Structure formats: structure tokens, C-alpha cells
Amino acid sequence: MLISVADFVGVSISTAGRIVRDISSAIANLYDEYVVIHQQSAEKFYHIAGFPRVLAAIDCTHIRIQSPCHVIGEEFRNRKGYFSLNVQAICDADLKFMNVIARWPGSTHDATIFNNSILRAQCDAGLFGNRWMLGDSAYPNRPYLLTPLINPVTEAEQRYNEAHIKTRNIIERTFGVWQRRFPVVALTLRLSLPKVQAIIIATAVLHNICRNHNLEEVPSEVELPIVEINEDMYFSEVQDVSERAALVNNFFR
């Protein structure tokens, strides 16, 4: 990547590295201004598949990197065998990021990232009221984070799962739009970890700016590597399913 930047701008590779570092860091510092959790998407989420009171959709995606070093490198090797950062994000119904965490090695389970996040602490504190996030089965089911039923039996449970899956798909669409617009995060980033993290956050900020200004999406015909959406790794610990059960029985019957 740096060679391409250096050739395009007409500078040395070392100078290109400093430019990428400085510009990425400057844009990443705008994160708090452009990546904000809000509660204004519930109605738009509802119109997708009739799922009420949705705050956001949550998931993780793997961003390919080079091995950081021999000492800790294996921590970054994910289940598919390549080195990555496991990046967690939540989005609204307009495909805008509301929270992005880009610091965990690729071997880290999605639930671990969430459980150690400020977002989880905010949810535990009731900061978002009676709104729900929708996540896949890799996450723990909580009163504020609803996951699919693994073995739906009744019609109500099946309706819940169908609405959940259709609504949660918005995060996969968001990842796809982001990576098509910024192919650098769909390819292997051969830079130091701090630079990689700055680029991930900076492109998330720029993605939201593009969405705010209704800029056209990059056509899906443009060939890029397949977006690495994490496959479900079922969270097996004891979970709080009371909120989900009440929703199934009272709303999806």
C-alpha cells in the first residue's frame, strides 16, 4: 500500500508512511464527532421486519493484517488461519457506525470483545433505556442484547428468528458498503498495529461522513475479497433469556 501511495504522490516510502500515519490519526481523532450512539433508528429498524425497539445491530469482522511479531503473532491468527484484528461494530438502520472497537487480536471470541467493552458497561447501566441490540449466537443473550433462538419450535419463535435475522443483517450490509468504499480494509494491511488501527477508525469515520452526505455507494460489481463476517461460535455460558422469552410470547405470537 505504501509503495502505491509513494508512487502516486511522488515521495519516498518512508515519507508516504508518515503521511498515512498523520492523516489517518487526524481523521481517527474525529471519531467522537461522527461515530455516535443514538436512539433515533428504532422506527426504521421496525420497518425492516417488524422487530420493535431496536437500538443497533452488532457483529464482528476480521481485518487482515501481517503478523505483528514472533512473540505475540499467534494471538492474531484467527480460526481460519490468517492474521487479523477482530473488529466489533454496531450500526444504525442507515448503515452508519455507532461504535467501533479495533484493538483485539483475531483469535479473540466476539463475546470477549463485547464483555470487556465500555459499550457493555453502558448497557449494564441502562444508558439506552428499553432499547435492544441484535447480535448473532456468538454473543451472550442479555436483557439489552438479543440473539436468535438456536432451536425455534413454535410459530412465535420462528417469527422472532426471521425478524431478528432480517433486521440484524443491516450490520453485514454496513460492513460490505464500508469495505467496498475503502478497499484498504478488505485487503491485507501490511503496516504496524497502531497504523492499522488508525486506518480502521479513520475509514469508519469517513464512511459515516459519506452516509451523512448521501454519497453514492461503490457499485457491487466492483470485485473485492469477500467480506469476512464472523461465523457464529455459540456462546455456551448461562444466559439471561427472560427478556427474549417475554418478547416472543407477547409480540411475536
Query: pLDDT tens digits, residue range 137-170?
Result: 999 999 999 999 999 999 999 999 999 999 999 9
Within-domain flag for 198? yes
Q: For residue 152, what is its C-alpha cell?
A: 425455534
pLDDT at 227: 52
Would you say residue 23 lies in a domain? no
Phi-psi region of 209 (alpha: psi -120 to 50; beta: other; left: phi over 0): alpha
- Cα(251)–Cα(52) distance, rounded to whole angstroms? 9
**Structure-model confidence comparison of residues 18 and 210, the more confident one:** 210
Residue keyed to cell 489517518: 24
Mean pLDDT of 205-216: 96
Cα separation, 72 vs 58, in Å, equals 27
Residue 19 predicted with pLDDT over 80? yes
CB 66 within 8 A of CB 189: yes
- Answer with the residue of higher pLDDT: 253 or 32: 32
pLDDT in tens, 87-124: 999 999 999 999 999 999 999 999 999 999 999 999 99
Residue 15 lies in a domain: no
Provide the domain count of the chain.
1
CB 49 within 8 A of CB 162: yes
In a domain, 61, yes or no: yes
- The edge-to-edge listing of strands for the beta sheet with 54-64 is 97-105, 84-91, 54-64, 132-134, 145-146
Look at residue 89 and tell me if it is in a domain.
yes
DSSP string, 84-118: EEEEEEEE-TTS-EEEEEEEEETTS-HHHHHHTSH
Residue 12 lies in a domain: no
Instruction: Determine, yes or no, domain membership for 62.
Output: yes
Cα four-point dihedral sign 47, 48, 54, 55: negative
Q: At what angle do helices 155-181 and 42-49 cross, to 10 degrees?
A: 120
Q: Nine-digit cell at 155? A: 410459530
Please state, as a whole number, how many other Cβ atoms lie within 10 Å of the Cβ of residue 55. Answer: 25
Query: Which pLDDT belongs to residue 222?
Result: 52
Whether 57 has a pLDDT exceeding 90, the answer reads yes
Q: Is residue 26, in this structure, part of any structural domain at all? A: no
Average pLDDT on 55-60 reads: 98
Question: Domain residues for 156?
Answer: 36-251
